[in-house]
Amino acid sequence: MVPPLNFAMVSPGVYRSGFPNPRSHPFLLQQRLRTIIYVHDGDCQTYHQQFIRDNDINYKHFRVAANREPFVEMDHAMVAEILAELLDTRNHPVLVHCNRGIRRVGCLVGCVRKLQGWAMTAIFDEYQRFSGTKIRIADQEFIEVFKSPAHMEVQHPAAVVAGQAE
């Protein structure tokens, strides 16, 4: 079994990765995913859409542009919407992926870590472990300034935000 590129558990029931290829589909089936969230401004590959349909997995596609210097930034409202879907236990187990599992997903996971109360140095360390030489200061700045909407804490059980199993 082959996991997708940059596959990892974020917290119980929440996984991250790069774009799954057909070789990684058996691995994903073992995770018994209920939902797959794709964050990218492009279209999803046909073979992946077929895998999702064939296995009755909920699919959500958010067209998110990557942070780019000097003036392109991920939309804060859309990121909040993605986080709400990601942390909603009705969607678990859930996989969130972009193409390589580095930048867009790295920003989303960084925002989850902020909700979990992680120190910024630990958040950036995790981001850098996945990004390798592809570190973008714009991503780290986005994570640092992102503020979660006030309603997010109410809608999602504290155990999920804290990264604990229910």
Contacts of 48 (CB under 8 A, 6+ apart): 19, 20
SS3 state at 62 = strand
Rg (CA), the chain: 15
Among residues 44, 98, 107, 111, the one annotated as catalytic is: 98
98 catalytic? Reply is yes
Give the residue numbers marked as catalytic.
98
